[in-house]
Amino acid sequence: MKPTCIIRFEILYNAQKAYTYIFFGLLVYQGFWLSMGANNLVANNNVLLNAPATNYQNLACMGMLLFAVTAIICAGALARDLESGAAHILYPAIIHEKRYFCGKYIGALLVNLAVVLGYPLGILLFPFWGTGAPDQFGPAPLGQLVHGFFLLTVPNLVFLVSFSVFLVVMFRKAAAAYLGVLLILVCFLVAVSVREESSLVLIVKLLDPFGYCAVKHITDKMDILELNTAYLPVTTALLWNRIIWGFVSMFLFGISFWKFKFKHFVAQTSKKPRRQKESVGPPREKPFQKNSGNGLPVPEYGPRVCLVKSAGFAWLEMKSLFRSPIFSFILGTLFLMFLGYNFLWTSAQYLTTSHLPLTSVMTYARIPMMIVIALMLLILSGELLFKDRSSGVWRLTDAMPTPSWVFILSRWLAMGIVAFCIASLIFAAGLVSQPAMGFTDIEWGLYIRDLYGSRFGWLTALQIIMLAFFCGALFNSRLKGHIFSIGIFLFIAMSVDHKLIEQLRFAFPFVPGVFGPEKYNYSEMNGYGVLDAGLFWYAGAWTALAALFFVLTLLLWNRGVDRSLKERWQVVKRRLGEPCGKGLTTAMILCLFLFGCFQYGIHDNLVRKAGYQTDAQKEAADAAYEKKYARYRETPWPKITDLDLNLNLFPGKRQANYTARLVLQNKTDRPMEILHLDWDQKLTVAELYCDGHSLEKLESDAEFRHAIYLLKPALAPGKAMKLNIKATLAHKGFHQSDFQGDLTYNGSVLGTDFLPFFGYDRSRELAENKERLHQGLDLLDSRMDRMHNLFSRANRFKSARSDSLTWNMVISTDADQTVVAPGEKVNTWQEKGRNYARFRSEHPGSMDFKIISARLATRAFDCQGVSCRLSHDPRHTYNLQVYEDAVQKAISWLSGELGPYPYSVARVVEKPFYDEDFISFANVTAVSEAHGWTADIQKDEDGQYIYMTMARALARQWILVSLKASDVQGAELLTQSIAQYYAFRFLHVIFGHEQTKQWLDKAYNDYEKDRAKEAIEEKPLLFVDRAAYLSREKGGLALYALSRRIGPKIFDQWLSRWIAHARQKETFFTSADFYNDLINFVPNDLHPFVREWFERRIQYRLSLDNAQIKEGKLTLTIFAAKMESKGEKGTMEKSFSAPLGVGLADESGNVLNIGQIMIRPEQNSYTLDCRLSSATVILDPDYWYLIESRKKCSKKL
Amino acid sequence: MQLIIKNLSKTYPNGVQALKDVNLTIDKGMFGLLGQNGAGKSSLMRTLATLQDVDQGKIFLGGADVIKNPEKIRRTLGYLPQEFGVYDTVSAEEMLDYIAQIKGLVNKSERKARVAYLLNRVNLYNVRKKRLKTYSGGMKQRFGIAQALIADPELIIVDEPTAGLDPEERNRFYNILSELGEDAIVILSTHIVEDVTSLCSDMAIIGSGRVLVHTQPAKIVNAVKGKIWTKEIDRKDLDMCKEKLPVIATHINQGRMRIHVFGNTAPDAAFEPGTANMEDAYFAVISGNADLRELSPVVPEGL
C-alpha cells in the first residue's frame, strides 16, 4: 500500500465531513475576529486596519480555535482507527506500518493545512466585512500574508500536528492530543503574559512555540510606515525560534514514526486486551439464589434515596477520574505550574518591581490560567456527561430504574469536586509558596473568596460545567457538545478581552474584576472596591442562567438509543406533560424569572444609576459634547485665587458633601458676563450663588452636564468675586469597568473635579485620532495647543481653573480613616465619631491637588529640618525603612541642588493602584500601592526603584513650586523631564553610574515600547504633548546625556540657577523658554547634539561587530545608522554630526573613556590607541545617544 | 405476571421498519426469540427495555402500561443487551455495586453480599478487584450476566447472552436462567436454535419485524413433522435445486452436501424423509415455506 492511498483516503474522508467545512468557516471567522480585536488595541489612526504587522502577529498567535481544530483533526486521523474498531480489521491487512503512519501524518497535515487556509482568508477578507471606512484599509498585503503564513503559521501548524500525532501514538487516545494541545496553549499564554515584563526576554522569545513573542517584539518597535508596509524582518531571535521549534517538530515526528507499531498501537485499547487469568474455581452448581442468602435486598427509589445515590455516584466518578493517569498528570502539571507561577513569574508580571508573595498575588494565578482551566472543565464535563454513552454502559444503566437526573447530578457534583480540587491546588500552591518565600501574612479569607467564589473561582467553575452539560444535552453529541461549549466560552472570553462585548451582563460567566478594568484588579488597600458592589447581581444572574442550563439538560437529556431531533422534540413535549415535566417547567420559569430580576438589577444599578456607557457610547457622547460646545473652547473664565472648603467624606457610602467659597478673579482685559459651568457626573450642586452678583441660568444641559449662566453685573477686568457652592458627591449604583477611586471604600483620591469646571472642559475631548475620525471630528496633530496659542499659553498646565491659589480646607472622614490633603495640617479633631482635619496652603499652588482618605498608619521622622510623614496601609510595613531612607537621602541631596525643601512637612502617602501611579502636588506625594510598598526588595534594582521614584516625586515638588508651566506643548519637559533627570542624577550619586545605567536602559526601552503605541504622532521633545514616554523617559535621558557631556556639576549648577530664577517670575513658562536658555548655556559645539535630542526625533542603530587589539591599536568594526523620524513619512537616514565615545570596562565594571570616533554610516572599521589588552569595549559609555540596542554595543576583547 | 405486547410497530428515521404489528403474550418461564440478523429481535428487546420509543402499540407488564410508565418495567427488569460497555477504570466489584445502587439496592451490607454472591455465581469472584479493562470478552459477558440478575428481576431479557462464552460457562448460565425461569419471565433472544428447543417452554420466530410464529417449541417441530425431505447432491447442482425445489437448508456432512426440502410429499424418489427438528422448522418458517401462524395464540382484546 502506498502512502498516497492513505493520504487520499484521509483527505476524502475529511472532505466528506460537514465539520471540516464548519472548521474552515470558523477559522475564516477567527481571522476576521482577531483582526478586529487586534485593531482595537492600536490607538493610532494612521495604522491601517489591515496593516501587515497586525497580520503577522495574528498569523503567529494562531488563535485558540485553530488549536482546537488541529487537535481534533490530528487526533481523529489515528485514534479513529481505534475508537471505531477498524484497527483490528485494517492493520492486519497492511504490510508497511511505517508507510501507513506516514500516510496518516501527511494526510492529517494536508487536511489541517487546507482547513487552516481559512484563517489567512479571514484576515484577507477583513476589509470586506464592513468594519471601518475604506480609507482605513490599505491594499491587500498579499505578499506579507503569504510570507507570514509560511514563516509562522505553517511551521506552527507542523509543530501542532507533530505534537498531536505524537501524543496519540504515545497514549493511544484522542483525548491525549486534546489535553496536550491545551498544555501547549498554557505554555503559549504564559510566554505571552511574561513577554513584556520578563528579564529573560530572549529565553521567552525562544521558548514560545509559535514565535509570537519574537514577532510582537519586532512589531512593537516598528514605526507607522513599517507597520503599514514592511515585511517582517527575521531577527536572530525569530530565526532561532523557528529553527528550534522546527527541530522539535522533526523530533516529535521521528519519535512517533519510530514508536508507531500496529501491535503496540492496538494493544491497550483492544477489545481483547492482555488476557486476564480467568478464575478456574470449582463450578458451583448450587441452585441459584434469588437473593444472597442474607434476606432479599429491597430496592428503594424515593427522591431522598436518589439524592444519596447521586452523591455516591459522584464519589465513584471521582475515584474513577483520579485513577486515570492522564487526569493525575494534568493535576500534577497544574500544581507545578501554579508553583512555578508563584515562584518565578507572578512577582514581576504585572508590577514594576518584584513583589512580595501577597495572598492576592497567589490567588491571581487563576486569572491568566482562566481560559485553560475553563477549557479543561468544559472538556472533562463533556466527557463525563457522555461517559456512559462513550463506554456503552448506557445500554445497561438506561434500562434501570434510576432517573436520568441522578446521573446528571452525580456528574455535575463530580465535576464540582474536580473544580474544587483545581481551586484547592492554587490554594495549596500559595500556601507552599508564601512560607517558602519567607512571607507569613496569609489572608485566609481572600484565598477563600477568590478561589471558591464567583470571581472566576469555584462557583464560576460550577457555572461553566453547566454550560458544558447543556451543550452536550442539546446536541446529544459529545463532540458537538465540546465544540459548541468551547466555542461559546472562547467567543465570549475573546469578545470580552477584545472589548467586543463590553457589558459583562451579556458575557456569561464573567463578573467585574476578572477581565478588566485592568489586568490586575485587586487593591491591597481597597479590595475589589466598587467591583465587589455588583458581584452579587452578576453572580446571581449567572447562577440563575446556569441553573436554567441544568434544568434544560435534564429535560433534553437523551435516554436510551440515539434519537433524531424530531424524536427528541417529541420526547421533550411528552416529558413536559408529565408530573416531573411540570416541575421542570416551573423550575425553568423560576430560573428565567430570577435571571431577569438580576439582569434588571444590573441594568438599574449600572446603566441607570451609575450612568455606564460603552466605549462607543462614551466616544459618541464626548464627540457630541465637543461638537456642541467646542465653540466655547477659548471663552475665558475667571480664575480661582482662593478656596475655602468644608468637605465631609463618607467613604463607606461612596458619598461626600461640601460647602465651598471660591474667590474668582477676572484676569482678562474684558468684563465677564457669561459663566460656563461643566460638572462631573458624581456632582450634584444644591446651591450656587455669588456674593454681589446674580447668576441667571441661561441654559442647562443635563445630558452633557453643562450650564451657562449670566452674571450680573459682569465681572470687571482684574476684579474678584466670591462664588458659594453647596453640593453633594455620590457614586450611585455600581460599576463594572471603572474603579471610581475618587470616592471609594478605602483609599479615595478625590481630585478637584468635585468643584464645577468653569468653561469648556477640554479633557472631555476625544484624544485619539482614530476615535475622532470615527466621530467625524477634525484630526488632532497634537494633544496640546502649540506655543503660539495665546489662550492656552495664558492657562497653567494641569491647573486651567487657577493660575495660583491659596486654600483653607476642613475635611472630615469616617472614624477609621485619615485625611491627607495639600498644605499645612493646622489641626485635627474628632467630632460625632468622625475625624476632622484643617489644611492650609503654605504657598500659593496649582489646582491639581488631591484629597486622600484611607485607613492609614503614619511614620514620622525629620530630615534637614523638614518633618516627613510616611502614611501607609497599616499592614504594609515591609519597606518603610527603605522609604524613609529614600526620602531622607532624596531631600538631603535635592536640598543641596535646589535649596531648602519648600514646605514644612513632606508627606508620602500610599494609595490604591487606580489611575496614576505617582501623584505629586504641593507637599504631598501619593504613591500607588503597587510601586514599592509591598515590593520584594531583595534585588538591588527593586530597592533602587523606590529611591528613584521618591527622588523624582520630591524633585517635582521643588519644580512645581518654582515653575508655572503654560498649558501648551512642551509643558511636561518642564514638569516631568527635569524631575526625571534629577532622579537619574540622584541614582548616580547614591548608587553610582553602573547602577544608573540599568535605569537608563530601562527608560530607553520604555520609550521605545510606548512610542510604538503613540496614538497621534511622536513629537520632538521640545513639543511633548502629554506623552510620558517622551517627557519622562526620553526627556530624562536627554538631560542626563547632556549633563554627562557638559559635566554633571556644571549642568546641575546651571539648572538649579535656572529653576531658582524661574521662581522669581510670576509668568508662565514654556519649554521654549527653557530651551532657549539651555542653548545659550551649552557650548556651540554641542548645539547639534542638543538639537538632535530636543528638536528632532533621532535614533541610532549601532552594533559593534568586531573588536580586536593588536600592538596597542584597538580596531573596531562598527555598523552604524542614524535615523530621523519624519512622522508618517517614516524614517530618513542622516549623516553623523557628533563623535561617538568609546570606553573600556574592566572586570569590576569601571569604565574608562579611551577616545571618540567620528562615525560613518554602514559598516566601517576604526582604529584607536589602547594600552589595555583585556577588557570590554563599550560604545557610547556615557549614554549620549538614543541607541536602539545597547547589548549590541559592547564586545569583550 | 404476564407480559403482553400488542400491535407494536417501530420505523427508524432511515425508513427501516424494524417492528410490524408485533403481538406477543409471554408468561413466566423461558421464552425464546429466534430470528435472523436484522429481523427485529434487538429492536424488540430494546423496546421492552425502555431504551427505545415505539411508533404505536402497547406493552403491559402485570397489567401496567410500560410505555406510559417505563419506571414500572425498569424496576423489575434484568437486561443483558447484545453489546454493552463498562467503565474501564473500575473493578467488577465496584461496577456491580454501582449498578446495584442504580437498581435501588440501598443497604450497603446487603448490596455487598449480593454482589459477592453474583460474582461468585458467574465465576468472577477471584478477579473481582481487577479493573474491567483487563477482562476478556468472556469475563465481560459473565459480568453482564451478573448485573442483569442483581436486583431479583421478574422480567429478564437476554440478547445473545452466550456470545463469547465457552461451553462450560454457557451451560452454567443456562442453568441459572432455567432456575430463574421458574419464577420470572425470561426472554432469550438467540441465533442458536438448539438452545431455544432445550431451554424454552415458549418461543417465537420473528422475521422482517413480524412475529412469524409464537407457540411451544414442540408444536412448531410437530407442525413440520413429515414435511422435511433430504437428499445428498453435488455442490454444483445446488443452484438448480434451489430454483426447482423449496430448499430450506443445506448441510455438509463429511464433505458431501445434503439439502433439506419442505413439502407434503417427496419431490422425487431420491429424497428421504428427514427427521423434523427445530432447525428445519425455523428455516421452513423464515424461508416462508411454512406458514405456522395459526399456531400462535389469539391476541387478547381489550387491553
What is residue A296's predicted lDDT score, i.e. its pLDDT? 61
Pair type for strands B17-27 and A1176-1179: unpaired
pLDDT for A295 equals 55
pLDDT of residue A283: 40
- The whole-number pLDDT of residue A1102 equals 85
How much is the average pLDDT of A1028-1051? 91
Q: Do A294 and B110 touch (CB under 8 A)?
A: yes
User: Residue A869: which of A884, A854, A850 has the closest Cα?
Assistant: A884
Closest CA of chain A from B290, distance in Å: 35
Q: Which 3-state string (H, E, C) describes B16-82?
A: CEEEEEEEEEEECEEEEEEECCCCCHHHHHHHHCCCCCCCEEEEEECCEECCCCHHHHHHHEEEECC
CB atoms near residue A822 (< 10 Å):
24
Rounded to the nearest angstrom, the minimum Cα separation between A298 and chain B is 6
Name A1023's Cβ contacts closer than 8 Å, sequence gap at least 6: A782, A786, A787, A969, A970, A1071
**A:B CB pairs within 8 Å:** 171
Whether the predicted pLDDT of A842 surpasses 80? yes
d(C-alpha A889, C-alpha A988), whole Å? 13
Q: What does the pLDDT read at residue A128? A: 81
Question: What is the pLDDT at residue A62?
Answer: 77
Distances (CA, A) of A357 to A433, A946, B64: 8, 18, 67
Q: Which one of A276, A297, A400 has the shortest CB-CB distance to B74?
A: A400
Name the average pLDDT for chain A. Answer: 87
Residue A390 amino acid letter? S
The mean pLDDT of A9-16, rounded to a whole number, is 86
Distance in Å, alpha carbon of B299 to nearest chain A alpha carbon: 27
pLDDT of A1085 reads 86
Tell me which amino acid residue B75 is: R
Torsion of CA A994, A999, A1000, A1005, to 10 degrees: 140
Amino acid letter at A15? A
The torsion angle over the Cα atoms of residues A70, A72, A77 and A83, rounded to 10 degrees, is 160
In this prediction, residue A281 has a pLDDT band, given cuts at 50, 70 and 90, of very low
The answer to whether the CB of A908 falls within 8 A of the CB of A504 is: no
- In this structure, of A80-94, A163-177, A657-671, B108-122, the range with the lowest mean pLDDT score is A80-94
Coil/strand/helix, residue B83: coil
- Distance, in Å, from the CA atom of A797 to the CA atom of A792, rounded to the nearest integer, reads 9
Closest CA to A1179 of A1146, A1140, A1149: A1140
With beta carbons under 8 A apart, name residues in chain B contacting A386: none
Q: Sign of torsion, CA A374 A376 A377 A381?
A: positive
Name the closest residue on chain A to residue B178, using Cα atoms. A288
Which of the given ranges, A289-293, A803-807, B193-197, has the highest pLDDT on average? A803-807
Question: Mind telling me how many Å the CA of A330 is from chain B's nearest CA?
Answer: 17
Q: Which amino acid is at A753?
A: D
Instruction: Give per-residue pLDDT as tens, A240-271.
Output: 999 999 999 999 999 998 888 877 766 654 44
Chain A CB contacts of B110 below 8 Å: 292, 294-295, 297
Per-residue pLDDT of B270-296, as tens digits, reads 888 888 888 888 998 988 888 887 877
Residues in chain B within 8 Å Cβ distance of A288: 121, 149, 175-176, 179-180
Nearest to A161 by CA among A40, A66, A265: A66
Q: How far is B46 from chain A (nearest CA, A)?
A: 8
Nearest CA to B249 out of B217, B290, B211 is that of B290
Nearest residue to B210 (alpha-carbon basis) of B30, B50, B51, B38: B38
Identify the burial level of A964 via C-beta atoms within 10 angstroms of its C-beta, where 0-12 means exposed, 13-18 middle and 19 or more buried.
buried
Q: Where are the alpha helices (DSSP H) in A280-358?
A: 303-323, 325-340, 346-349
DSSP A1069-1129: B-HHHHHHHHHHHS-GGGHHHHHHHHTS-EEEEEEEEEEEEETTEEEEEEEEEEEEE-GGG
Interchain contact, B123 vs A283, CB within 8 Å: yes
Q: Chain A partners of B102 at a C-beta cutoff of 8 Å?
A: 309, 397, 400-402
Grid coordinates of A414: 463530580
The SS3 call for residue A254 is helix
Kindly indicate the confidence band of residue A563, based on its pLDDT and cuts at 50, 70 and 90: confident
For residue A1187, the 8-state DSSP code is: B
Q: Do A293 and B117 touch (CB under 8 A)?
A: yes
Whether the per-residue pLDDT at A959 is higher than 90: the answer is yes
With 80 as the cut, is the pLDDT of residue A1009 above it?
Answer: no
Q: What region does A560 belong to: left with phi over 0, alpha with psi -120 to 50, or beta? A: left
Question: pLDDT confidence of A280, banded at 50, 70, 90?
Answer: very low
The DSSP letter of residue A875 is T
List the grid coordinates of A696: 441667571
* Min distance B92 CA to chain A CA atoms (Å): 13
What A95-101 contacts at long range (C-beta under 8 Å, 24+ apart), as own/partner pairs, is A95/A1, A96/A1, A97/A260, A97/A261, A97/A262, A98/A257, A98/A260, A99/A1, A99/A2, A99/A3, A99/A6, A100/A1, A100/A3, A100/A6, A100/A262, A101/A256, A101/A257, A101/A260
For residues B124-145, give the mean pLDDT: 88
The H or E element spanning position B114 is helix B108-121
Q: In this model, does residue A1075 exceed pLDDT 80?
A: yes
Please give the single-letter amino acid code of residue B16. Answer: V
Give me the pLDDT at residue B143, please.
92
Give the residue-averaged pLDDT of A95-101: 80
Please report, as a single letter, which amino acid is at residue A1172: L
Collapsing DSSP to helix, strand or coil, A766 comes out as coil
Q: Say how many C-beta atoms besides its own lie within 10 A of residue A1111's C-beta.
A: 4
Residues A401, B104: C-beta atoms closer than 8 Å: yes
B-chain residue closest to A323, CA distance: B89
- The amino acid present at A714, given as its one-letter code, is A
In terms of pLDDT, which residue wins out, A622 or B38? A622
Out of A218-232, A705-719, B82-96, the most confident range is: A705-719
Mean pLDDT computed over A776-801: 92
Q: Are strands A655-665 and A639-650 parallel, antiparallel or unpaired?
A: antiparallel
Angle between helices A478-497 and A18-40 (to 10 degrees): 10
Range in A287-301, A604-618, A1164-1178 the model is least confident about: A287-301
pLDDT band at A889 (very low <50, low <70, confident <90, very high): very high
Count of other CB atoms within 10 angstroms of residue B240 = 11
Best interface-test mutation with B: which of A276, A286, A394 has the largest number of B CBs within 10 A?
A276
Full-prediction pTM beyond 0.95?
no
E-assigned strand segments in B144-284: 155-159, 185-190, 202-207, 210-215, 228-233, 247-253, 256-262, 272-273
pLDDT score at A795: 94
Beta carbons of B113 and A288 less than 8 Å apart? no
Predicted local confidence at residue A694, as pLDDT: 92
C-alpha cell at B46: 430494546
Containing H/E element for A553? helix A535-556
Orientation of helix A236-259 relative to helix A212-220, angle to 10°: 170
Calpha distance A980→A999 (Å, rounded): 11
pLDDT top residue among A928 and A64? A928
- Name residue A127's amino acid: P
A209 or A417, higher pLDDT: A417
pLDDT in tens, B152-189: 889 999 988 887 778 888 888 888 888 888 889 999 99
Percent of chain A with pLDDT over 90: 52
Angle between helices A1048-1064 and A880-898 (to 10 degrees): 80
Choose from A191-200, A333-342, A770-779, A891-900 the range with maximum mean pLDDT.
Answer: A891-900
Identify any residues that bridge with A645 across adjacent strands, giving them in sequence order.
A660, A809
Residue A545 has a pLDDT of: 97
Do strands B29-35 and B202-207 pair parallel, antiparallel, or not at all (unpaired)? parallel
Q: What's the mean pLDDT in A881-892?
A: 96
pLDDT of A927 strictly over 80: yes
- Show the 3-state SS of B249-303: EEEEECCEEEEEEECCCCCCCCCEECCCCHHHHHHHHHCCCCCCHHHCCCCCCCC
